[in-house]
Structures are given as structure tokens and as C-alpha cells.
């Protein structure tokens, strides 16, 4: 049955030539861009989605976002629109096969081959994640491998267009996506972010290494249950000999908790590069299947092919199936083959018939002459074209906006290969830095590669890292900003606890150049505090003064002091003379119980002068009562009694 859409021209520009593939959400056609004379792929949304205004609105927004992606490992989106009741998306047409076709042909890949395929997939996802786009449907069918070995990721933004603001990818209650690759959070909560793409990429890595997805089941619900409730098995359990580090990478990227996975594709790619270096895995070409798979294992991609009949030589019908248009799936890269009738029989060669009338012979002669003349003109034109007609001078487009540059190049009869983006300190974003070949060079119909500025390369430190532990901040900066050099300094801070980051110099949020040095100031805690002199103060007043400065107060047994009155602070430990001590230190406080006390010495029998000297030396006062003589006969207080310093001792002096 003929596809009724084939032959239509959308928006007066895209003529649909052939249906390539059909899925639950859309159908892909090969089409001719009548304006630029090139072949493109046009994806037309399914009817049940076209009639949903919410979907169409979201699809339009996401298609525009996907069109902003420009990366060699992403299938580029060039246009989007609606015409004749059809909502469509115009994309780059990739000539090659899908990763699914390659796995069908090869069974499984070596570790080196799996890395060679996964690295460009992650590179394309990195560009998307940095642009704020989540793919949501990473699977082998959406990984295209060109005949030249270039890997591209297809269908960016389409799954997200269905979900809108991060809710479940559903339309009419049906989860959109391939359940074998959906993350647990998509299946349970309908939410997805960059880490959901990491999960799917980890599942794809597992499948490349083992030849099949980790989970199987009779129903999608059974497969989904295993994703949610089981850890992905180790590839080495299926294929002995796989290094344990590869097992760990698969386990880390497919953890059921998103927080345990790499934060985005860039982090996954960095881990993959480190693992390649650690294991000493040399780079190998991306497997295309052309060198190892026989003709019977090749599968078609979204490149349009010319249909053949099963009886045509060099033709093999895959799985003995035909599409709904009655065409068989053909092997890519083969010629059209001999001409056949619809029924598969070759026409019999024409033989001259006897007795041809004269007027027919003259007509044939005139036709032959016209053909010879046409051939001569054609050969002359081809000779001119091969000699000088194909040479075209590349126009000067440096410094011009990207769209203007493309217009000038196409106006010169050349094709613009757009675009390689580079950082530039001199050329504003969106303007052309250079071209390959350069301006003024004469080329023969080649593409002109445009190098377009992304503007100055700048990086920013996240202000959320302030007041975080130094070790955690250092690890985060090494992971997210390897382009910036960081040093650290210790500073006292009366507000930030020791070990936490106080600030960055330059401040967080400042635009930084690659290689710029940023100093991270880390708190040493509160600065030391000088102990105040609280001697002579009452206990309550001294305690309050010390606690206001952050000290802890400890009272020790009372002492005695001749200088400080009873009940007042006579000393602290450390003393005020010790200077500054760590904040929060404990200060011991000692109160005075009065003046010092002494034991009264025994001076009986001594001369009055000697007794007075002994008592004075002991800190006592002397009051003598004299009779005849010079010897001390009696003393009050008596000898051995403990009295306050300065107490008066009365002595009786006589014979």
C-alpha cells in the first residue's frame, strides 16, 4: 500500500521522497530540500499527538532548543513546522547504520570498541546537558554510526517535549520511551534529569559488552520492576575476562539512586577517559560492521535506498519481511542492479525487426544525429566544468554573523559546513572566526567549514560552596572546574567555623578565564582573645565579663591575699598577663578568703629585741610590756596559734 504522505511538499520546500522508518511517536521520511538541493530526514509526528495542543506547543519549544545544539556527535536539527495537518521536524540525514543494527550483526563488542562508540555518544550528550537539554531516550536505536565511522546521537529533545516541566513522559497515560533503558526515577516518579541519561548510557554500555540488555521479561512491566528493584548485573558475569574496573563503571553509572551516578555526561566521559588510561586501552576505530560482518548481516539506516525485487541479483531480503509500502529492506552501499520488470523477470533483449518502413529509418537517423550532437555538447560542458568551471572563490566572511556567512557562501555556489564552535577572546559570539578553506582560495564544489565564535571562554565558582567543608569544596572544584587553578589560605573568622570556606578571591560568581588562579579562604576559627584583668571584682561580675568574651569560667578553691579583700577575685589562670588565648578557653577564677595567716612563733626566753625581730619577720606586730629585765617571759597570742598577718602579739619583758 502506497504511503499517502510520500510526494507531498511541506511548506513549499521539503518534498517527501520515501518512508524510512515508523515508530509509535513518528514516521521518518527521506526528503529533498528544494531550496538548498540536498537530502534531509523529515520526522512527522503521529496523528494522535498532533491533535494534542499541549504536546504540539511543548514539541515546538523543545525542537527549537534541540536546533540550538551544534556538535559533531549530534544529529543536527535544521527546521521545524506544521503544514497540511502535519507537525514535522527537519534533521540531518545520516548515511550508515544504528548501533542496534551493529549489535544484531556482531552480537557484542570488545571493551575497546564499546568505548570507541560510547565516547562520542557522551560527547554529544555533554553538549546537550550543558545547554540544559535532557535526551530521556538514549538507546541503541538512537545511536547512528555513519559509514565513515562518525557516531551521532539522534532525537534530542523529543522525549522531553512530551514531558514538559519535568513530569512523567506520558501521553494518554502511556509511558513514552523504551522501558529497557528507562531509569528507576523515570519509571517511579516520571522525573528525569541529566543523570537519567547517564543511567541509559550505562545500560547501553552493558549491552555493547554482553550483546543484550541486563533485564528481560514477558511484559514491559516485568522489565520495569527489575530496573526499580534490582541492581544491574556485572558484565563480567556474562562475559568472563572483562576487567573489574569496567564492572565498577557500569555499576556506578546505573545505580538506582541518581545521587550515586556521575552528575552529567561530561563527568561520565571524564571517568571513561581515566579508565581507558588506567587499563591502557588503545583507541580503536568505531566499528561499522563493514569489515567484519558479511553481507547478510547488514541492516538499513535512515538513508533512502532504491527498492529491489527479491529476484534481483545481489539482493537479500532481511528476515523475509517487507514494509507496508511493499518494499524490501535493502543492503546499503550496493548499486541499483540490473533493470527488472515489477514481477521480477528481466525483459528480453530487443532484436531488429525485418521490413522496417523507410520513414521509420529516417526518423531513427535524425534521432541518432540529435543524440550524437547532444553527447558532443555534454562532453564539451563536462570538459569545461572539469577544467575551470568548477572553481569557485571562497568569499570573505570572517567577522560576519553565522547566518550572513552561510548566505554568502551559498550565494557563491558553495555549501556551508556549519559549524565548528570555538572560544574566542577577540571575536564576539555568533561571528565567524575563520573558514576552511580560507577566504580567496579557489575550490571545486567543496564544502566550506565555518569556525564560529562562542565568545570568551569563562567559568564561574558556585556561591553555594561557601560555608562548606574545605575537603568537600576542593573535591567539587576539581570535578567541575578543572580549567581553574585553586589555592587555599587559612584565615581567622569570628563568624565561620573552623574548616569551612569563608570566601573566594576573586569572589564566587566572577567570570574567570581558563588557568586563572582563585584563592580559597578557609576559616581557622575564632581569632584568639586576650584575658581581661578581673582581680578585685566580685565573682558574678568577673564571670559575666569573661563569658561575654567567649571564655568558660571555672572556680577553684579560695586563696588568701594581702592586696585583695575577702570575697573578691584575687587571681585567674591563665592570668591576664598571659595575653591572647584560643577562643572558648577555660579561665579558672580564685577568690580571696582574706589576708594570709601565719603561725605565731615561740619567742619566750628571747631578748626583747630578738623577739620583736622574729615576730616582725613573721608578719606580726609587737607590743611589749616591760618590767625590770630584758627577757620575754610571756606572749599573747600563745606560740603555735594561727592568726592573720598583721595581728599584734603582746609580750611581757622582765628579769
Active-site residues, by number, are 137
d(CA 480, CA 472): 12
d(CA 391, CA 384): 11
How many CB atoms are closer than 10 A to CB 480?
Answer: 17
Backbone torsion region of residue 605, taken as left when φ is above 0, otherwise alpha when ψ lies between -120 and 50, otherwise beta: left
Give the sheet arrangement for strand 552-559, strand by strand: 552-559, 586-592, 569-573
Question: What H or E segment, with its residue span, contains residue 436?
Answer: strand 432-436
* Count of alpha carbons within 13 angstroms of residue 413, beta-carbon side: 9
d(CA 192, CA 138): 12
Residue 550 near residue 529, CB atoms below 8 Å? yes
d(CA 514, CA 481): 9
d(CA 272, CA 224): 27
Least Cα distance to 541 among 563, 503, 568, 565 occurs for 568
Beta-ladder partners of 450? 435
**CA 524 to each of CA 473, 502, 552, 562, 583: distance values in angstroms, whole numbers, following the listed order:** 16, 10, 20, 42, 11
* Count of alpha carbons within 13 angstroms of residue 386, beta-carbon side: 6
Provide Rg for the chain, Cα atoms. Answer: 46
Which residue has cell 606572749?
A: 635
d(CA 629, CA 635): 16
Q: Which long-range contacts (C-beta less than 8 Å, at least 24 apart) are formed by 614-620?
A: 615/649, 615/651, 619/645, 619/646, 620/645, 620/646, 620/647, 620/648, 620/649
d(CA 182, CA 215): 11
How many CB atoms are closer than 10 A to CB 309?
Answer: 16
SS (H, E, C) 269-301: HHHHHHHHHHHCCCCCCCCCCCCCCCHHHCCCC
Which residue has cell 555556489?
A: 413
Residue 187 near residue 224, CB atoms below 8 Å? yes
CA angle at 77 for the pair 94 and 174, rounded to the nearest 5°: 95
Amino acid at each position: 500500500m502506497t504511503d499517502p504522505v510520500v510526494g507531498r511538499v511541506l511548506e513549499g520546500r521539503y518534498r517527501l521522497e520515501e518512508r524510512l522508518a515508523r515508530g509509535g511517536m513518528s514516521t521518518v521520511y527521506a526528503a529533498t530540500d528544494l531550496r538548498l538541493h540536498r537530502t534531509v530526514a523529515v520526522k512527522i509526528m503521529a496523528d494522535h499527538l498532533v491533535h494534542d495542543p499541549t504536546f504540539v506547543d511543548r514539541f515546538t519549544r523543545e525542537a527549537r532548543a534541540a536546533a540550538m545544539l551544534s556538535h559533531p556527535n549530534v544529529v543536527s536539527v535544521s527546521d521545524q513546522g506544521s503544514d497540511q495537518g502535519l507537525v514535522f521536524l527537519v534533521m540531518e540525514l545520516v548515511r550508515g547504520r544504528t548501533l542496534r543494527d551493529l549489535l544484531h550483526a556482531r552480537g557484542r563488542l570488545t571493551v575497546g570498541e564499546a568505548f570507541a562508540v560510547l565516547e562520542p555518544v557522551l560527547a554529544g550528550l555533554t553538549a546537550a546537558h550543558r545547554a540544559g537539554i535532557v535526551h530521556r531516550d538514549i538507546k541503541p536505536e538512537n545511536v547512528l554510526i555513519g559509514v565513515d565511522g562518525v557516531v551521532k546521537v539522534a532525537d534530542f529533545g523529543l522525549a522531553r517535549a512530551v514531558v514538559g516541566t519535568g513530569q512523567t513522559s506520558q501521553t494518554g497515560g502511556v509511558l513514552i520511551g523504551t522501558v529497557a533503558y528507562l531509569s528507576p526515577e523515570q519509571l517511579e516518579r516520571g522525573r528525569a534529569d541529566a543523570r537519567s541519561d547517564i543511567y541509559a548510557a550505562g545500560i547501553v554500555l552493558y549491552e555493547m559488552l554482553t550483546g543484550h540488555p541486563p533485564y528481560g521479561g514477558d511484559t514491559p512491566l516485568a522489565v520495569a520492576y527489575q530496573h526499580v528493584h534490582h541492581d544491574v548485573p556485572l558484565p563480567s558475569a556474562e562475559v568472563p575476562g572483562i576487567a573489574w574496573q569496567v564492572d565498577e563503571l557500569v555499576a556506578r553509572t546505573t545505580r538506582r539512586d541518581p545521587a550515586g551516578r556521575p552528575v552529567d555526561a561530561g563527568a561520565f566521559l571524564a571517568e571513561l577517559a581515566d579508565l581507558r588510561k588506567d587499563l591502557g586501552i588503545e583507541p580503536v576505530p568505531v566499528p561499522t560492521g563493514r569489515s567484519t560482518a558479511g553481507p547478510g548481516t547488514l541492516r538499513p539506516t535512515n538513508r533512502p535506498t532504491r527498492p529491489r525485487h527479491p529476484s534481483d541479483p545481489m539482493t537479500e531480503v532481511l528476515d523475509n519481511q517487507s514494509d507496508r509500502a511493499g518494499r524490501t529492506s535493502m543492503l546499503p552501499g550496493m548499486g541499483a542492479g540490473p533493470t527488472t520488470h515489477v514481477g521480477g523477470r528481466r525483459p528480453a533483449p530487443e532484436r531488429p525487426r525485418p521490413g522496417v518502413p523507410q520513414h521509420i529509418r529516417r526518423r531513427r537517423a535524425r534521432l541518432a544525429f540529435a543524440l550524437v550532437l547532444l553527447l558532443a555538447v555534454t562532453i564539451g560542458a563536462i570538459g569545461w566544468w572539469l577544467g575551470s568551471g568548477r572553481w569557485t572563490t571562497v568569499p570573505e566572511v570572517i567577522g560576519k554573523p553565522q547566518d550572513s556567512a552561510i548566505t554568502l557562501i551559498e550565494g557563491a555556489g558553495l555549501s556551508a559546513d556549519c559549524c565548528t564552535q570555538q572560544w574566542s577572546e577577540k571575536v564576539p559570539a555568533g561571528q565567524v572566526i575563520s573558514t576552511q578553506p580560507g577566504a580567496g582560495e579557489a575550490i571545486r564544489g567543496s564544502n566550506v567549514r565555518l569556525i564560529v565564535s562562542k565568545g570568551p571562554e569563562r567559568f564561574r565558582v558556585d556561591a553555594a560552596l561557601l560555608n562548606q567543608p574545605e575537603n568537600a569544596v576542593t573535591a567539587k572544584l576539581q570535578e567541575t572546574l578543572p580549567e581553574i587553578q585553586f589555592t587555599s589560605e587559612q584565615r581567622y573568622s569570628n563568624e565561620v567555623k573552623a574548616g569551612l570556606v569563608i570566601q573566594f578571591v576573586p569572589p564566587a560568581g566572577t567570570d574567570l578565564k581558563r588557568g586563572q588562579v582563585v584563592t580559597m579562604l578557609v576559616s581557622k576559627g575564632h581569632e584568639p582573645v586576650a584575658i581581661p584583668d578581673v582581680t578585685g571584682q566580685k565573682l558574678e561580675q568577673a564571670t559575666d565579663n569573661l563569658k561575654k568574651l567567649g571564655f568558660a569560667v571555672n572556680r577553684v578553691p579560695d586563696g588568701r591575699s594581702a592586696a585583695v579583700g575577702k570575697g573578691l577575685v584575687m587571681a585567674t589562670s591563665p592570668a591576664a598577663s598571659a595575653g591572647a588565648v584560643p577562643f572558648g578557653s577555660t579561665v579558672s577564677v580564685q577568690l580571696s578568703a582574706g589576708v594570709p595567716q601565719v603561725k605565731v612563733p615561740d619567742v619566750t626566753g628571747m631578748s626583747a629585741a630578738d623577739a620583736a625581730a622574729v615576730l616582725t619577720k613573721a608578719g606580726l606586730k609587737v607590743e611589749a610590756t616591760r618590767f625590770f629585765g630584758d627577757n620575754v617571759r610571756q606572749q599573747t597570742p600563745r606560740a603555735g596559734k594561727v592568726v592573720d598577718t598583721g595581728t599584734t602579739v603582746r609580750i611581757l619583758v622582765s628579769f
